[in-house]
Amino acid sequence: MAHIEIDQNELRERLTPEQFTVTQQAGTERAFTGKYWDTTDDGIYSCVVCDAELFTSETKYDAGCGWPSFYEPVSQDKVERRVDNTMGMARVEAVCAKCGAHLGHVFPDGPQPTGERFCMNSASLDLALDDS
């Protein structure tokens, strides 16, 4: 999927410094510090950069890692996977398929039915609470 282009100056004005570092420079917030790591509210988690819907609270679980974790995105075409060889290891980076924002990483140690853990940064997400 081709990514939309978003002006970096506009993003610097709109996002917090941490959100910009995480989404645009593949940064990582410290474990147990993000605003969604232990949130149990019902809703939809969207990309903080482009508002694309990425995850639902129904697939969120406590992985004990200190970051919001999900076992699958709302659909496979919403989150793009890339090889990440930084930090001296091979990992799978997760980015927003619409805008290319860095979200976090995907690990093969999640619960069923997928067995995957989408370990996301709170700084890359916005939660829209369910009205019900």
Q: Are strands 53-56 and 91-96 parallel, antiparallel or unpaired?
A: unpaired
Instruction: Look at the block and give the residue holding tokens 């709109």.
Output: 14
Dihedral over alpha carbons 107, 6, 77, 90 (to 10 degrees) = -20
Which residues are annotated as catalytic?
Answer: 119
How far apart are the C-alpha atoms of 45 and 125, rounded to whole Å? Answer: 6
Quick check: 39 and 127 in contact, CB under 8 A?
yes
Residue pointed to by tokens 């081709």: 2
